[in-house]
Structure 1
Amino acid sequence: MRLIDRWLARYAEPQEAALEAVRGLKPIVVVTGASQGIGLALARRFGRAGHDVALIARGANALEAAAGLIASDYAVTAMAIPMDVTNPEAIDRITAQLGANGFYIEVLINNAGVGLAGPFAHQSQEAIAHLIDLNVTALTRMTRAVLPDMLARGHGGIINLASLGGLIPGPNQAVYYASKAYVVSLTRALAAENAGRGVRMLAVAPGPVDTGFHRAMGTELSFYRQLLIALSARQVAFESYLAFKLGWHHYVPGLTGKLLQIAVWIIPHALLLPLMGWLLRRRDERPWHDVGNPSA
């Protein structure tokens, strides 16, 4: 890994003022949406590798329990910081609390997100606005807040959780798929802008994962849930951690996900989009309505 680290930092120019600002502080990995699912699995994976972690989510009880288990299982510091990341002041509050406890953000994992299923015209303005606020605005704000300091130090990393759906328009999950396309595009662009400056930038794009996320959207009866093999959150975290350490900018976990990625590349959209609409259409007996389950 040392050779990879040296290559990734080949153009890095650490600034003394930035290094002095964190002198005496310890690095920590911050994970949003960390009380369950992929976020919790990633926090555990980094903890297992010996990293101190800070878990961010809205539910204080679940967050405290998750942090306690990580601390006891891996003998690392695991902080629980209850916070709604859509609050414009969230990242400043997180940074201040970490600093007061002797830490600075070395790695940021933007995992918090929400899904929305059903025809776009049947979804409420409020549900759409909330999805964009969490999946796009909060992620962008937090990324922008930490990236300059990482570049100034010449080291650090950001993992943004996207989706395989970010590679293709998704009829019947249109806003969700579009939000993940933004995450993929932003992350890869930032990786290109800052190549060789010591900051790892990774967009993870998993297909279906068994976390309860799809059930919360009311899509358990959709054909994609019946036909596609779902990964475990633990497998996604394991593969994502490895991709991050290797310095990759974009990664699709799982063999099925990689095959689907190839299919997205080669099947004409004139055929692919009707197929996606059929796969994603909810088949429960309830009327179409907007459903969201924030993981933050």
Structure 2
Amino acid sequence: MSDYADMLKQSVGGLFGELAHADAHDSRAWQSIEELGIPSLFLAETDGGMAGSWRDAEIVFRLAGYHALACPVGETMIARLLLAQAGGAKDDGCPAEPNWWQDDRLDQERAFTCLAFLRTAQLAGALSACLEMCVRYAQERSQFGRELRKFQAIQHQIAILAEEAAAAAAASASAAAALDRSDGQFEVACAKLRANQAVGEAVLIAHQIHGAIGITEELGLHRFTDKLWRWRGDFGNDRHWAQWLGARVLHCERETPWQLLTDGRMT
């Protein structure tokens, strides 16, 4: 990780940690986010932004998922980027409205792809948070006179959860790199589908490890699992992206699927 990325992770992570329980319409929380300049990360420095890359944005998106942030930070970042590219308003100081991307001036397919990437990164962040909660719970709790972490079944479940979280994180990082070098639509489709697929088993494992306490307000696991289920369906569920990928592979001019994957282009 570069020095800039590390600094971004620390500053954004610290703020999101403080705002983790803030309401989506909390004006003071949004003011703090604006003051750090996060919503305008993609914009040019002359427009008050940071000229950030998609890999920079992926750090922010994943941290938003890791803290189950309610404020629409990622949506606003993408809205300001696409509106600026379309010649519209660059920065009005307000969070994006829910259906902003359906404005006639915008390329809706491009907006849908960018928002699917946002959800991919958020899924990766939330899965990471669930994994950490499970590891911590297994270390702290005991059953039948033994720490949970010493039960082989628990170790096995945590290992599977770690695999799913790692797969989602790798998919998110790969999609961010693709968006920086091209339109990234194929890679985003693959990443969103893989992150979606990680949710089902990961959420089941997280709640199995925590038992009944996992649904209590006190623990807060539901803050992440509720969002994981919702984000899984946002901007393309499993069927949507599986069909999208299947259709494009069938119409691709490459001789084999392997050539498509290694070449990274659909034509």
TM-score (norm 1): 0.36
TM-score (norm 2): 0.38
Higher strand share: 1
Higher helix share: 2
Flag the structure with more relative contact order, 1 or 2, with Cα contacts below 8 A and sequence separation at least 6.
1
